[in-house]
Structure 1
Amino acid sequence: MIDSSIDLSDFQTPGRGGGLADVIRRRYLLGLLVRKGTSTRYRNAALGWMWSYSRPLSQYVIYYFVMGVLLGNNRGIDDFAVYLLSGIIAINFFNESFGAATKSITDNKALVKKIYLPRELFPVAAVLNALVHFLPQMGVLIIAGLLSGWRPSMMTIGTGLLGIGILTLLSTGLGLIFGAINVAYRDAQNLVDVIRLFVTWTAPVMYSWKHVGDALPHWAEQLYLLNPLTTAVGLLHRGFWYMGPADSVNLIPHLWRGSIIAIVITAVVIVIGQLVFRRRERTFAQDL
């Protein structure tokens, strides 16, 4: 018989946590997972962290030659090199974090099956690992911007950070959704790979916003602007590329209004992601 005088308020039902709030409470564990991911990513690789630059640099060279030189976009956009670089690293960060978060539970199945800890730690750690590898690319962007005449200010830095924040939270929310589904249905991982192929072209990275406004009817143009990735890339352009009214024709219109919409959509995705994750995490161990 259970003694009713014992205070059980500090105990939790086994296997049930507090969701993303537990990630904050267990930030020490989160730090361990992030350090593990960053330390093992390029283990036994001769070039080490230099591989963080290889893929974006390769993409940059190819896209600049095809879209800038062959198709002539470098003549329609001032400082096209910086415009292209800021968009590429933003989309690459989203794609990497989204893909890694989707595979985070299955990649850590040994831990998930053996011990209990907040499972949200894995997708969040995957996104933070991608953020760590994104920072050196941001350093390159800042140097390129300074060489092209960009001058930092509180407004430009804050605008760029807002764009990065939207990308981080959006990939976290989507990673929670697809990461949870991927445990039972590995088709989710293949679907995410397809989505990532389209993502590069759903934001003004290799082309100007002016081309979108000229080519699409008004309703499609408004739908395009509802994409949080479009807004996030626009914020990085505003923060690290835009230098005056002459560039405004290629800058996404109503960017601050779009930022509010993007924040709301991202918050909804986070909530949905948490609900889907909490619902499916009960069967993670047996599905793995």
Structure 2
Amino acid sequence: MPQTLAPPAPTPTQAPAPGTAPDPELRALAERHGLTVSGARPSLSEYTRQLWHRRHFITSFASAKLTAQFTTAKLGQLWQVLTPLLNAAVYYLIFGVLIGTRRGVPDYVPFLVTGVFVFTFLQNSVMAGTRAISGNLGLVRALHFPRACLPISFCLTQLQQLLYSMGVLVVILLCFGQVPTWSWLLVIPALTLQFIFNTGLAMAMARLGSKTPDLAQLMPFIMRTWMYASGVMFSISLILQGKHLPQFVVVLLNGNPAAVYIDLMRFALIDSFTHKQLPPHVWAFAAGWALLASVVGYVYFWKAEERYGRG
């Protein structure tokens, strides 16, 4: 009697591999029941709305970071002011006295301290943004929130720290003969534009830093090079005098965003720093850099929203 063969067992349906398109039938079933992908990136408008709803978390997180930053130091919050002041003292000794960059620059101490404080604001914002995701993976993986909250709150922390330092800067200005004038009010729009620029750049660096954690080790060298090209310790206009440099080099030095925001602060606070030392259309440069960095940085960060915190 011939042996009857059993029918072959059905092959189990395998789940699609990660990164491949889901089965059309499963997609249709999910859409019919209103299911969505877990952790999917929201639209840009919805993402912005979620950020606005978490504005209180952003400000509270920024204040908490500022308070905890120097809790282990005996001098505590005083280091917020001492650090840029000590940097300014070192730069004055090396560049102002030994190299002689103070020659031809009236009110050199206010000139130098203003540049150091403003660039420190930029540098710390970018450095904190670079580590915003990679340095907070526990928080990113444990809670669901718009990840842009982190770089924004870190930049807000640096802004709060700068505002504390501004009190010391005012004392230094008064000690060196600077009298408060209406131009001091220009500090408000100048710092606002720089904060927007810093935040956009920090968001872009946060995405890059999340993919390449080693970038945080490289950034101090990049920021130091940027500082030397931004006229923190010397006057760019004096350095360019008598030098036949290509026009694009002159444009790059004058249009450098760090130099632009430093020049605006010096123009607002120092009487001897007049409009003749400002590059043409400096306010347009400042607004343009802020708009470009904020839009590009925000969209660039949002594009990778669903990948932050994943292995």
Q: TM-score, normalised by structure 1?
A: 0.87
Structure 2 residue aligned with 1:208: 235
Task: Compare CA radii of gyration and give the structure with the larger one.
Answer: 2
Which consecutive unaligned segments of at least 5 residues does structure 2 have?
A: 1-28
Q: How does 1:160-179 map to 2 (within 5 A)?
A: 160-179=187-206
**Which residue number corresponds to residue 235 of structure 1?**
264
Alpha-carbon RMSD across the aligned residues, in angstroms, is: 2.6
Give distance in 2, aligned partners of 1:20 and 1:52: 31
Query: Quick one: distance in 2 between partners of 1:53 and 1:132?
Result: 12
- 1:276 matched to 2:300? The reply is yes
> Does residue 1:266 correspond to 2:290, yes or no?
yes
Residue identity matched to 1:164: L
Tell me which of 139, 143, 147 is aligned to 1:115. 143
CA distance in 2, matches of 1:75, 1:220: 23
Contact 1:89 1:137 in 2 (8 A): yes
**3-state SS of paired residue (1:277):** helix
Change beyond 3 A, Cα 1:224–1:20? farther
Q: How many residues are paired up?
A: 277
Q: Distance in 1 between matches of 2:237 and 2:56?
A: 46
Following the alignment from structure 1 to structure 2, what is the Cα–Cα distance between the partners of residues 21 and 127? 20
1:252 aligns with 2:278: yes
Alpha-carbon distance, 1:266 to partner: 2.2
**What per-residue deviation string (whole Å, max 9, x for no partner) do you get for residues 212-257 of structure 1?**
322333331122222111110000110111x15xx44982232xx1
Secondary structure of the residue that 1:104 maps to in structure 2?
Answer: coil
Aligned to 2:133: 105
Q: Structure 1: which 5+ runs fail to align?
A: none
Contact 1:182 1:188 in 2 (8 A): yes
Match of 2:144, SS?
coil
Which range moved further: 209-218 or 96-105? 209-218
Confirm or deny: 8 A CA contact 1:123 1:172 kept in the other structure.
yes
8 Å contact from structure 2 (residues 152, 199) kept in 1: yes
Q: Which moves more between the two structures, 98-107 or 140-149?
A: 140-149
Q: Secondary structure at the match of 1:285?
A: coil
CA contact (8 A) 1:169 1:266 kept: yes
Asked if structure 1 preserves the Cα contact closer than 8 Å seen for 2:130 and 2:202, the reply is yes
Local SS of the residue matching 2:139: helix
Conservation of the 8 A alpha-carbon contact between 1:19 and 1:120: no
Q: Which structure: greater helix fraction?
A: 1
* Deviation for aligned residue 1:281: 1.9
Q: Which consecutive segments of 4 or more residues in structure 1 shift more than 6 A? A: none
Residue 16 of structure 1: which of 26, 41, 59 is its match? 41
Q: Which deviates more, 71-80 or 106-115?
A: 71-80
Report % sequence identity.
Answer: 23
1:224 aligns with 2:253: yes
Q: What is the SS of the residue equivalent to 1:75?
A: coil
